[in-house]
Structure 1
Amino acid sequence: MSSGQTDETFVMDLDDTRNSKGHGFHCYKHDGVYLFVLPPEMLKGARPVDRINSIKEAELKDDDIIICAYPKCGTHWLWEVIEMLVSGTLQHQKDVKETRMMEFLAKDGIEAMPQPRVFNTHLPLRMLPKQVVEKKIKCIQIMRNPKDACVSFFNHLRDTNPPYNYEGDFVEFTEAFLSEKIPFGSYSTYLQSWKDEVAAAQGLPTLDMYYEDMKSDPVASVKEVARFLGLASTDKFCEDVADACSFKKMKKVDQEMKGGFPVKMWADGKGGTFYRKGEIGDWKNWFTVAQSERFDVTWNKKMKESGVKFTYTPV
């Protein structure tokens, strides 16, 4: 993003994330994390930081469910699965998951959402409603290997409508991905924060899932989610949900019926979609051997004490 694309209304809120080539993101920094500056029609006259802070005070329902994930780790996919399990139907949601995204809704939007409610967020636990911990709201964290997540995030931001698009190349983006100067911060920091903040929450019901497990054995993953949520879903229904939420079918639904996003998401001529390939190991088509090795050195240094083990190639 060039500096000339900055909306003058938010100049005071923007932090400089640009690299030496002038490429960066339309973000401000809050509580140690870079966040997108929402467009005026979503801010509704409020300051970005005020909207984010309002989330902490939102009133939650005891049966609320929250999907917590770093961008491009399977949030859309898991959200659709849970919506079907909770509703007991195989009906796909017509809206995009951003209509249930806490950082877009803020306090008023969260509280106005009718039950049953399946929210999602890319924010760390400390920025979520205080009642997540107080009411022991069920949270599901879905994780994806960082190289595929990096590739997917790059393609997403490359195709996004200005000023939210990324104009740098993949090498530049990878450098940003490993740093903190990227929307929602670095993936490694996000994972470490999630682990530490859940541990401090004492008794918060959480389920950790992996994108690669959902891909390799979707039926088992759907059953695991149903058990965690305490739903009396039959084996047959879980199998049907897994089939209805296959990548091929979800991509078709995204192209043919999804709507509800309050602003224009994708740039003209880009053919943007939330579902690109959905493969395990597509990163090999993007990283050179040298780039992959450099990525590993930085990532492994940051994550050596995390205990998180990812799958990088199909089993």
Structure 2
Amino acid sequence: MAALEDLDKLLQTIPGLEVLDLNNSKGHGCKSIVYDGLYLFIPPLVLLERRNPFESLQSIKETEMKDDDVIICAYPKCGTHWLWEVIEMLKSGVIEYRKETKETRMMEAIFKDGIDAIPTPRVLNSHLPLRMLPKQIVEKKVKCIQIVRNPKDVCVSYFNHYRDMVQPFGFEGDFAEFTEAFLTGKLCYGSYSDYLLTWKAELEGSPAVPVLDLVYEDMKHDPVKSVKDVARFLGVTATDMFCEEVAHACSFKKMKQIDKDRKLGIPVGIWREDAEQTFYRKGEIGDWKNWFTVAESERFDQMWNKKMKDSGFKFSYTPF
């Protein structure tokens, strides 16, 4: 509680920083800050003590990119952790799990200074839109890999992630309330639909940026093919056998166990003590059916389809 009080006090001293309560009519929701029109998580105390969060976020755009950098671009809960391990193994040529969590390579968590300190070759990741990322991504044509996932499973996974976090980072409310927030964008990183539409528009404005589009459900259905696709995009020479080994090592079951047994946790306390305290939950296709009522599913479809009509995005909602 003392740390939370210290965080509140520090937030009040930062010029221009506004903490928003994205609450519904029941008084439930989450808290966030706003940067460049996007809702973002309130930075933990340890980060705020070092630097103004707006200056930190702005610094990302000025980061110098390397020719061999790779950036994973995705909305939360679309498979970033999974894909990060795959890429690291492909680039290193070794079946070995990273000891750190992918948050140690997350641009909006480490900012310019943290990015600069990472030795090459670097595999970075972000949930931010292209306009907030380093300008040199476009200038140097840095390779980006975008992974997407069906929105109903994303919603379920994000809800469980949010409710396992301590305040002021967590979400207060039930799943139905969260779904409404997910669809209307009253969450950190905004709505998933806005993220997809924004990325599409920004990439259309920068067509020279090399981007590999991956689909979470395809990776689950045929992980070896997906690993080969990634290797080909990265220009990595990898045998069929090695790609199979990578796919096997990065199965969801193995990744969850490694995260539990070997990963060095992120240096700030975000998880509730009674929570599982992991970024991995089920990783299944179609788990949304265990959460949505028929009426809720129909309402979700109606709102999602209206927003995403003619967008070109198509998703698989059941295993195949």
TM over 0.5: yes
Whether contact under 8 Å (1:70, 1:187) holds in the other structure is: yes
Match of 1:37 in 2: 42
Aligned to 1:134: 139
Shift of the alpha carbon at 1:16? Answer: 2.7
Asked if structure 2 preserves the Cα contact closer than 8 Å seen for 1:68 and 1:122, the reply is: yes
- Counterparts of 1:217-236 in structure 2 under 5 Å? 217-236=222-241
Aligned-partner Cα distance in 2 for 1:37–1:164: 7
User: Deviation per CA, 1:199-221, whole angstroms, max 9, x where unpaired?
Assistant: 10121000110000000000000
1:1-315 correspondence runs (5 A): 7-11=8-12, 12-315=17-320
* Aligned equivalents of 2:152, 2:10: Cα separation in 1: 35
- The answer to whether the 8 A contact 1:58-1:110 is kept is yes
Partners of 2:49 and 2:126 lie apart in 1 by: 20
CA deviation after TM superposition for structure 1 residue 44, in Å: 3.6
Counterpart-to-counterpart distance in 1, 2:109 and 2:146? 19
SS in 1 for 2:124: strand
Deviation at residue 60 of structure 1 after TM alignment:
1.0
The answer to whether the Cα contact below 8 Å between 1:219 and 1:239 also exists between their aligned partners in 2 is yes
Do the aligned partners of 1:72 and 1:149 also contact (CA within 8 Å) in 2? yes
Query: Structure 1: how far apart are the matches of 2:98 and 2:124?
Result: 13
Instruction: Give 2:278's aligned amino acid.
Output: T
SS at match of 1:201: coil
Rounded to whole Å, the distance in 1 between the matches of 2:156 and 2:249 is: 26
Does structure 2 retain, via aligned residues, the 8 Å contact 1:222–1:242?
yes
Q: Which AA in structure 1 matches 2:253?
A: K
C-alpha deviation, 1:237, in angstroms? 0.4
How many residue pairs were aligned? 313
- Asked if the contact 2:42–2:168 (Cα under 8 Å) also holds between the matched residues in 1, the reply is no
CA deviations 1:166-215 (Å, max 9, x no partner) are 12100000000001211101000000011110110121000110000000
One-letter amino acid matched to 1:239:
E
Q: Deviations over 1:1-48 (max 9, x none)?
A: xx9997232244312311122222231111121001111212343222
Q: Distance in 1 between matches of 2:7 and 2:97?
A: 36
8 Å contact from structure 1 (residues 6, 163) kept in 2? no
Alignment check: 8 A CA contact 1:69 1:122 kept: yes
Distance 1:280 1:40 in 2: 36
Aligned in 2, Cα 1:4/1:43: closer, same or farther, shift over 3 Å?
Answer: closer
Report the CA distance shift for 1:4/1:286 in structure 2 as closer, same or farther (over 3 A).
farther
**Helix, strand or coil for the counterpart of 1:28?**
strand
Matched residue SS, 1:183: coil
Structure 1 length as normaliser, TM-score? 0.96
Runs of 4+ in 1 over 4 A off after TM superposition: 3-6
Is the 8 Å Cα contact of residues 66 and 120 (structure 1) preserved in structure 2? yes
- Measured in 2, the distance between the counterparts of 1:5 and 1:284 equals 41
> Is contact 1:43–1:51 with CA below 8 Å preserved after alignment?
no
Percent identity of the aligned residues?
63
What is the RMSD of the two structures over their aligned residues, measured on CA atoms?
1.4
C-alpha contact (below 8 Å) 1:52/1:106 kept by paired residues: yes
TM-score using structure 2 length: 0.95
Note if contact 2:10-2:48 (Cα within 8 Å) is conserved in structure 1: no
CA distance in 1, matches of 2:105, 2:148: 19
Name the aligned partner's letter for residue 114 of structure 1.
P
Supply the distance in 1 between the matched residues of 2:29 and 2:119 (Cα, whole angstroms). Answer: 37
Q: Is the contact between residue 153 and residue 288 of structure 2 (CA under 8 Å) also seen in structure 1? A: yes
1:91 is displaced (CA, Å) by 0.3
Structure 2 residue runs without a partner (length 5+):
none
